[in-house]
Each structure stands twice: as structure tokens, then as C-alpha cells.
Amino acid sequence: MLSGYSGGTNPNPDYWQSHDENTGEAESIQIEFDPKILPYEKLVEIFFHTHDPTSVNRQGYDTGPDYRSIIFYFDEKQKNEALKVKKEVDDSGYYNSPIVTEIKPFEKFYPAEEYHRDYYERSKRNLYCRFVIDPKLKKLLEMYKEEVKEEYKE
């Protein structure tokens, strides 16, 4: 898993450009997975259940288009599976508001700068981590303990 930026028009954006220049980048993570171990549909389901997919341009305290909920797909099969899971979660009533997550074709991913990678691991005591990230991790471990590797359950 690698943090970075995707979905915009700026070639090789950095953190400040993605936030200040309105070039369309979204803070993103690139995930490599083995579909035999974790099927794509399950990965998308986890995504929808462990963040707020109902807020436009917002994740917790972070606001702006760079914080929008978005899935980038690599082929039509992934697109259709993402749309299917989105509809299932939306129809389930799990959220009180409709899901606004964008589902768009992947174009390019730009890795984040070194100082922006592994932020949580380096900053666990930071208030942002304790009040924003920790509850998401707790929810992930409660809902998907079977899918989370042992090394991440600490």
C-alpha cells in the first residue's frame, strides 16, 4: 500500500499542489492485492464501510476536493463490481445519506513525498490520529477481523 495522489491534471503533484492549486488530485492510496486472498468486491466493501462515502469533498476534519471519496478502477470488471457494491451498501440503509463516492477510470498515480508516507505510523500520538484514524482502524478490525493480516491487528 502506498499513499499518493491521483485523478487530477497536474503532472507529478506534491502535497501542497494537491491542496492549494485545485488541479483535481485526490489523496489516494495504491493497493496491491491478490484477488484469490481478498476479492476486489470485498476490498470495495471494506472501503465503503471504513470511511464516510456520503460527504462531498470531506473526510472527517479534512475538507476540499482532494479529500473526496473516489475509487479508481483498472478495467470494466472492476468498474462494474465497484458500482454493484456501492449500490448494495447504499440500498442497505447502512448510511442515512446517499453515497457520493466517484467511480472513475485509473489514469496515473503519483506517490506521496517521503515525509507524507506512513504518517500514522510516525504520528500515532498526534490528536488527529487518535480522533480520526484510530476510530476507523477500530471499525475495520471489528467489522473485518478475518480479512486483516495478523501484523496489523496490534
* Domains detected in the chain: 2-117 (3.30.1060.10), 118-154 (no CATH)
Q: What is the pTM for the complete model shown?
A: 0.89
The stretch 80-99 carries a mean pLDDT of: 97
The predicted structure's pLDDT at residue 90 = 96
Residue 6 above 90 pLDDT? Answer: yes
Sign of CA dihedral 140, 135, 5, 113: negative
The confidence score (pLDDT) of residue 29 equals 93
Give, in degrees to the nearest 5, the angle at Cα 138 between 35 and 91.
65
pLDDT at position 150 is 65
> Is pLDDT at 25 greater than 80 in this prediction?
yes
Q: Is the pLDDT of residue 153 over 70?
A: no
pLDDT at position 148 over 60: yes
User: Which one has a higher pLDDT value, 64 or 130?
Assistant: 130
Of 70, 44, 59, 68, the residue nearest 131 (C-alpha): 59
Question: How many Cα atoms sit within 13 Å of 79 on the Cβ side?
Answer: 7
